[in-house]
Structure 1
Amino acid sequence: MNRSALDAYSDGAVWWDTAISDIKKNEIIIRGYPIEELIGTLSYSQMLYLLLCGEVLSEKKARLLESVLVAGADHGPRAPSIAAARMAATCGISFNSCVATGINLLGDVHGGAAEKAMTLFYITNARLKANQDLLLADVVAAQLDHLEKNREKLGGIGHQLHDDDPRIRKLYALAEALVDEGEISGNYLKMAEEFRCQLEERKKRKMTMNIDGVAAAIQCELAIPAEAAKGIFAMSRGMGIVAHALEELQNRVLIKGPCPNRADLVRYTGPELRHLEKRE
Structure 2
Amino acid sequence: MNETLSNEKPGDEKPRDVKPGDAKKPFAWETAIAWKNKDRIVIRGYDVNELTGNVSFADHFHLVLKGELPTPEVARMTDAIMVNMAEHAMSPSSATVRFATSGGADLNAAVAAGVATIGRLHGTADRPAEMFRGVADRADRDGIPDAEAAAAIVAEMRARRERMPGFHHAQHIRDPRTERLLGLSDELGISGRYVAIARAMEDATEDVFGRRVWLNGPGSMGCVGLDMGYEPLQLKALFIVCRSLSLCAHSIEESTREKGWRASANSDMIQPLSLEMQGPDHYDGPADRHL
TM-score under structure 1 length normalisation: 0.80
RMSD value over aligned CA atoms?
A: 2.4
What does 1:206-221 align with in structure 2 at a 5 Å threshold? 206-221=212-227
Match among 154, 171, 175 for residue 185 of structure 2: 175
For residue 22 of structure 1, give the secondary structure of its aligned residue in structure 2.
Answer: strand
Give the whole-Å Cα distance in 2 for the aligned partners of 1:143 and 1:23: 48
* Residues 158 and 208, structure 2, Cα contact 8 Å, conserved in 1: no
* Residues 107 and 230, structure 1, Cα contact 8 Å, conserved in 2: no
Report how far residue 153 of structure 1 moved: 1.5
* Residues 49 and 57, structure 1, Cα contact 8 Å, conserved in 2: yes
Q: Which consecutive aligned stretches of 4+ in structure 1 deviate over 6 angstroms post-superposition? A: none
Report how far residue 81 of structure 1 moved: 0.8
Instruction: Give the unaligned 5+ runs of structure 2.
Output: 1-21, 272-291
Instruction: Give the unaligned 5+ runs of structure 1.
Output: 1-9, 267-280
* Residues 65 and 218, structure 1, Cα contact 8 Å, conserved in 2: no
What does 1:132-143 align with in structure 2 at a 5 Å threshold? 133-143=143-153
Report how far residue 117 of structure 1 moved: 0.8
Report how far residue 163 of structure 1 moved: 3.2
Please state if 1:99 is matched with 2:111.
yes
Please state if 1:202 is matched with 2:208.
yes
Report how far residue 265 of structure 1 moved: 7.6
Report how far residue 125 of structure 1 moved: 2.6
Identity %: 28
**Which residue type is aligned with residue 177 of structure 2?**
R
Report how far residue 151 of structure 1 moved: 4.1
Give the whole-Å Cα distance in 1 for the aligned partners of 2:157 and 2:111: 35
For residue 35 of structure 2, give the secondary structure of its aligned residue in structure 1.
Answer: strand
TM-score under structure 2 length normalisation: 0.78
Q: Go from structure 1 to structure 2 and tell me whether the alpha carbon gap of 1:263 and 1:11 turns closer, same or farther (over 3 Å shift).
A: farther
Report how far residue 200 of structure 1 moved: 2.8
Q: Quote the residue 1:83 is aligned against.
A: 95
Which string of whole-angstrom CA distances, capped at 9 and with x for unpartnered residues, describes residues 212-236 of structure 1? 1110011101111112222221112
Match among 133, 136, 142 for residue 122 of structure 1: 133
Report how far residue 129 of structure 1 moved: 4.7
Which string of whole-angstrom CA distances, capped at 9 and with x for unpartnered residues, describes residues 34-68 of structure 1? 21221111111111111111111122221111111
Q: Go from structure 1 to structure 2 and tell me whether the alpha carbon gap of 1:165 and 1:28 turns closer, same or farther (over 3 Å shift).
A: same
Q: Go from structure 1 to structure 2 and tell me whether the alpha carbon gap of 1:143 and 1:217 turns closer, same or farther (over 3 Å shift).
A: same
Give the whole-Å Cα distance in 2 for the aligned partners of 1:260 and 1:49: 46
* Residues 106 and 230, structure 1, Cα contact 8 Å, conserved in 2: no
Which string of whole-angstrom CA distances, capped at 9 and with x for unpartnered residues, describes residues 144-174 of structure 1? 3443455432111101111343321211221
For residue 29 of structure 1, give the secondary structure of its aligned residue in structure 2.
Answer: strand
**Which residue type is aligned with residue 267 of structure 2?**
R
**Which residue type is aligned with residue 117 of structure 2?**
L
Which string of whole-angstrom CA distances, capped at 9 and with x for unpartnered residues, describes residues 228-261 of structure 1? 222221112211111111111111411114x863
* Residues 115 and 227, structure 1, Cα contact 8 Å, conserved in 2: yes
Report how far residue 128 of structure 1 moved: 4.0
Please state if 1:43 is matched with 2:56.
yes
Report how far residue 16 of structure 1 moved: 2.1
Q: Which moved more, 1:119-128 or 1:156-165?
A: 119-128
Give the whole-Å Cα distance in 2 for the aligned partners of 1:47 and 1:244: 25
Q: Quote the residue 2:168 is aligned against.
A: 158
Task: State how many pairs are aligned.
Answer: 249
Please state if 1:69 is matched with 2:74.
no
